[in-house]
Structure 1
Amino acid sequence: MKKYELMTIYPIEEDKFKAGTDLVRSVLAQFGATVEKEEPYGDRDLAYEINKQKRGRFVLFTVSANPAKLVEINAQFRLNNNLLKSLFVKLDDEKNK
């Protein structure tokens, strides 16, 4: 298992945000990833429109996951209409200690 930061962007509507975060957590659990930390970053203007949205609600997850499963996790994320964007970034080994 490797550690990753997962930045996610959701619509700012509360019901879509809640549905999106719930789905992200369930997809991660389905593929054996564990969420170590969840940090809300609040509502922010987007650099460009995504699905006709000009603002998004950002959440940063710290996740331990199997690197071989990331492609499948990202494929499931793309099916979620309540998740505008997501990005996995591998943490350096020095940060993991």
Structure 2
Amino acid sequence: MTKYELVCLFKTKEDNYAKGLEAVKALLTEAGAEFLKEEDMGDRAVAYPIKKEDRAHYYFFNIKLDGSKIISLDEQFKLREEL
């Protein structure tokens, strides 16, 4: 298993953040990720607007995961509106 760093950006509305974080953790757990470190980095300005949003809530993960799961996770993350 390989170590990966993942930073998720959530829309700043509180309900989006809570739902999104729960969904990301569930997807990572389902993929067999081992959580090494998690850090709530808080609400920050983004370098440029993303979908007309100029702020996002950042959350950092340091995980161990089988590399063959990355593409599948990436596709699933793209389907989430909260991210």
* TM-score bin (small chain): over 0.9
Distance apart, 1:26 and its partner CA: 0.5
The alignment's TM-score, normalised by the length of structure 1, stands at: 0.82
CA–CA distance in structure 2, aligned partners of residues 34 and 46 of structure 1: 28
Query: What is the Cα-based RMSD across aligned positions, in Å?
Result: 0.8
Unaligned runs of 5+ in 2: none
The structural deviation recorded for 1:46 is 0.8
CA drift at 1:71: 0.4
Q: How does 1:4-83 map to 2 (within 5 A)?
A: 4-83=4-83
Aligned residues: 83
Stretches of structure 1 that go unaligned for 5 or more consecutive residues are 84-97
Q: Percent identity at matched positions?
A: 35
Q: Secondary structure at the match of 1:21?
A: helix
4+ aligned runs moved over 6 Å, structure 1: none
Distance in 1 separating the partners of 2:82 and 2:35? 19
Taking structure 2 as the reference length, the TM-score comes to 0.95
Aligned residue for 1:32, secondary structure, equals: coil
What is the CA–CA distance in structure 2 between the aligned matches of 1:50 and 1:24, rounded to whole Å?
Answer: 19
